[in-house]
Structure formats: structure tokens, C-alpha cells
Amino acid sequence: MKVARFHAPGDIRLEDAPEPTPGPGDVKIRVRNCSTCGTDVKIFRFGHHHIVPPRVMGHEVAGEVTEVGADVTGWLPGDRVQVIAAIPCGRCPDCRAGRLTVCPNQESIGYHYDGGFAEYMVVPAKVLAVDGVNRIPDGLGFAEASVAEPLACVLNGQELARVGAGDDVVVIGSGPIGCLHVRLARSRGARRVFLVDLNRARLEQAAALVAPDALICAAQADVVDEVAKLTDGRGVDVVITAAASGTAQEQAIQMAARQGRISFFGGLPKDNPIISCDSNLVHYRELTIVGANGSSPAHNRRALELIASGAVPVSDLITHRLPLGEVLAAIDIVGRGAAIKATIEP
Ligand SMILES: [Zn+2]
Ligand SMILES: [Zn+2]
């Protein structure tokens, strides 16, 4: 079978590999869709400390069960499934307390285990042990189901930031994650959602799909001033930074209303993670700043339901569908910001 393997930064190769054989606790799937995201671009450019090459990449996986290990119950060949990306251990104190997203022993598909840029993939027993395989509801396509993984991360972020009815929300960053944040915030009852990006063309492409209540191009206007104007000086209830930008995080603190919540959803480059924060704004306005680290198996399940029910539509966000042989082109498209979501169909 064909696979796309990471060998070193800048070196992803399309190779022939033997079909993997599932162990007694594993399930083998025929990958139907594995979507790409900014993380794939980062891995391609810089590698990742959790990836020991060579490794088959791809972590937004949906496919069809073809073989189940001798010890596996509940799954049969032909079952249509979506697979989690981040695998909590299920046993540590954090996992036992229900904090699966911050499990210190977390491993990931496409990092510690071969991923979905392949015709076939083995879902390791560890994934099944934490209920990390989800049945795709009838009528929902594999491509849409593969978007459950990033939506699960977005859901975790909005739960932690307590996005709810009546909230005014600013989303900074209009890539696929920003688009999912806009749609999820609406489904949770947000009153108005404002979308911000530095890149005007990208902002308008996203706005054409997700129709924010206002868009602000950060290259052309002072974002904090614009948000103040839109809210009569009050600021917004929630600010979500879906961009790897310290400036965006600093602005987020400035534009939050009293008792506002700020989600540092996107991380910063590891060599430049320090921002300046007016601590008195946090103190007197009773602000809450929260992080977000991936998603739990339960988030994946609920994200799949949100997509299947139509609460968070994703079909129109999938702008590019490419065969496995085009994986480098897909990563390039994502890296240039030319796609909302590019999915590989091996
Ligand atoms: Zn991803
Ligand atoms: Zn754990």
C-alpha cells in the first residue's frame, strides 16, 4: 500500500509499505479520509519532538473497519468509524479525575503511532481502551466525520471558556479552526461573533462561509478599538485566539468585557512564548484566561454528533479533496492559507 512518511523536516516521502497487521487488541481500518491541518505544516517544516522518524503522518482520521483483533469486541468489518488523535492513558490521576485532555502520558496518532496518510491504518488497542473509536452516524460522509477531531478540540476550548447564550465573541484567526469556532459559538447561542485576521483575503474567504456579524482586518484597523466600537466600549464576553500570535493574545486581554473569558486556544512558537499582560485588567475586570490542549474521546463523540445533526455544518469548509499522492501539495496549500480544510482521500 501507499503511505506518506515523515523522515525529517522538509522530507515527507510517498512510499510503498506492507499493509499493517492488527495485534489482538487492535482494529485495522481502510482510511477513507484523513484531513490536514496547521499541525501537519508545522511537522513538515520543523519536525516534532514526539515523532521519531520514519512515521506515517495524519491524525484527522475516518475510515472503515476491515479487520478486528482476536480480543476486540463491538466492532466488525464494514463499520464506519472516526478515530481520536490524542490518546490519554486512562489511568493516571488526571485521567481518573476526568481531565483527559491534560493527561501527562498522552500519546498521539501520527506521532507515536502511524497515522492516516495511508491506505490502511492500525488503530492501537490503547485507543479502543479509552473509547477512542466512534461510529459515524448514517448519512454522514467520511470527509465530514474526519473534521470531528479538530471540532472536538474547538469544543474543549469553548467549554473551558464557557461560551454560551447571549455572549458576544471575538475569534482571532480565520483559518479552519477559526471557522469552526464561529460556527460552534453560534450553535451554543452566542449573540454576535466577530472574526479577526491579519490577512484580508483569508478573512473574506472565511467570512463568505461562516458569515460573522463583523469582520476586522488587523492589518488595516486597531482591533481593540474596533471591538470597543462594536460593543459601545463594553468589550466582548469571550475572546478566542486561534492564531499563533502573542500580539493577538495581548489584544485579547484588552478587548474582554468585565468577567470576560479569554481562550488562548492556539499555542505560541516554543522559542517565543512570552507575552505582556496588564495584570490589573485581569484583577479588576475579573477576567478568566484559559488554555486548551486537544480534546478527549468524549469531545470527539460529541463533535461527531454536532456535525451529524447539522448544528455545526462542515461540508462547505472542506475546500480541497486530494488523493494520497497529493499530500505534499495539500500541506503546501494549507501552509499558504489557500484552503479552509484540505482532506486526503487515500
Ligand atoms: Zn489537526
Ligand atoms: Zn492519563
| Ligand 2 centroid – CA 87 distance (Å) | 9
Percent of the chain with pLDDT over 90: 98
Cell output for 43:
511537522
| Ligand 2 centroid – CA 97 distance (Å) | 9
- 162 by DSSP, 3-state: which? coil
Residue type, 123: V
pLDDT for 54: 96
pLDDT tens per residue, range 237-293 = 999 999 999 999 999 999 999 999 999 999 999 899 999 999 999 999 999 999 999
| Ligand 2 centroid – CA 47 distance (Å) | 25
Averaged pLDDT, 290-318: 98
| Ligand 1 centroid – CA 300 distance (Å) | 13
| Ligand 2 centroid – CA 129 distance (Å) | 12
User: Closest-lying ligand to the alpha carbon of 106?
Assistant: 2
pLDDT for 319: 95
| Domain 2-151+294-345, CATH among 3.40.50.300, 2.40.50.100, 3.90.180.10, 3.90.1140.10 | 3.90.180.10
| Ligand 1 centroid – CA 280 distance (Å) | 35
* Mean residue pLDDT across the chain: 97
234's CB contacts (< 8 A; 6+ apart) are 257, 258
User: Closest-lying ligand to the alpha carbon of 296?
Assistant: 2
CA distances from 236 to 136, 165, 265, 276 (A): 36, 13, 17, 20
| 15 burial via Cβ count (<10 Å: 0-12, 13-18, 19+) | middle
Q: Where are the domains of the chain?
A: 2-151+294-345, 162-290
Alpha-carbon torsion, ordered 84, 86, 90, 95, to 10 deg: -120
| Ligand 1 centroid – CA 336 distance (Å) | 16
pLDDT for 317: 97
| 165 burial via Cβ count (<10 Å: 0-12, 13-18, 19+) | exposed
**Helix and strand tally (H, E) in the chain?**
12, 18
| Ligand 2 centroid – CA 25 distance (Å) | 19
| Ligand 1 centroid – CA 229 distance (Å) | 34
pLDDT tens per residue, range 199-218 = 999 999 999 999 999 999 99
| Ligand 1 centroid – CA 230 distance (Å) | 32
Averaged pLDDT, 7-22: 97
pLDDT tens per residue, range 92-133 = 999 999 999 999 999 999 999 999 999 999 999 999 999 999
Q: What is the fold, at CATH topology level, of the domain defined by 162-290?
A: Rossmann fold (3.40.50)
Averaged pLDDT, 33-61: 95
| Ligand 2 centroid – CA 289 distance (Å) | 24
Measured between its terminal Cα atoms, the distance across the chain in Å is 10
| Ligand 1 centroid – CA 59 distance (Å) | 6
| Ligand 1 centroid – CA 282 distance (Å) | 31
| 274/8 Cα distance (integer angstroms) | 28
Nearest alpha-carbon partner for 194 in 239, 258, 158: 239
Percent of the chain with pLDDT over 70: 100
pLDDT for 211: 97
Q: What size, in residues, is the chain?
A: 346
Q: How confident is the model at residue 298 (pLDDT cuts 50, 70, 90)?
A: very high
| Ligand 2 centroid – CA 290 distance (Å) | 20
| Ligand 1 centroid – CA 69 distance (Å) | 27
Handedness of CA 8, 14, 18, 23 (dihedral sign): positive
The reply to whether domains 2-151+294-345 and 162-290 share a CATH topology is no
pTM over cut 0.85: yes
pLDDT tens per residue, range 309-322 = 999 999 999 999 99
